[in-house]
Amino acid sequence: MTARVTFATANRVLQQLRRDPRTLALVFLVPPLLITLFRYVFDGQPLTFDRIGGPMVGIFPFTSMFVVTSIAMLRERTSGTLERLMSLPLARLDLLLGYGIAFAAVAAVQASITAGVAFGLLGLDVQGPVWLVVLLAIANAVLGMSLGLFVSAFARTEFQAVQFMPAVVFPQLLLCGLIQPRAHMEHILRAVSYALPMTWAYDALDHAVRGGAGSIVARDAAIVLGVTVVALALGATTLRRRTA
């Protein structure tokens, strides 16, 4: 692994994103707009917004980063860019970390903007520390990025990449505890939820919002970090995959 090559790769990815205004709009504008819409859906129920809005600050960036990174990486594969890069004296770890650093930087900015709108403009009030909610939101965005990079290996077209949204993200939204507490679910669904990364991401955010035990937040955050690393490692195994 060479730091110079890694950061050169990250810079190339960031430059590509900079020249794509539609993608930047999706990344930076859609999550704040969704949290704003969410705020006014519960305009007469401020306590509900305070209870659910905190976790949504992290869930919206997770979702959008998953879509953006899966499509962006797919373009690299189908355009032949990835194969050309892999023909160079470039380690897979250099390439993967370059992509990871670039999208992680974008994820951090995205989550920070979303949190700034929620806490600054919309008056979201949480019992726990705001900085912790923001930090967890960034971690969730990075988690979405890592999963998006991984699943891009299983798509041939951008349409197929988008189809992973209902296949991968929506079940996690339903089972993470956001809509219905997991304790009230059927036993089999509760068991499945433990294997889903968004369950732990939501659990960490929920405890942070309510000012819950720091040990639980730390445990959940460690699981999210572990899944992120595993997804990136699995993504590295697909980098030699030939594209049609």
DSSP state of 169: I
Q: Which residues of the chain have pLDDT under 70?
A: 1, 80-92, 239-244
Q: pTM score, two decimals?
A: 0.83
Q: Which tokens in the block code for residue 37?
A: 């819409």
Residue type, 125: D
Largest CA distance in the chain: 60
pLDDT given at position 123: 87
- pLDDT at residue 175, rounded to an integer: 93
* Location of structure tokens 């679910």: 185
| pLDDT value of residue 241 | 44
pLDDT for position 244 = 42
pLDDT given for residue 83 in this prediction: 63
Plot region of 211 (φ>0 → left; ψ -120 to 50 → alpha; else → beta): left
Question: Which structure tokens are listed for 51?
Answer: 């209870």
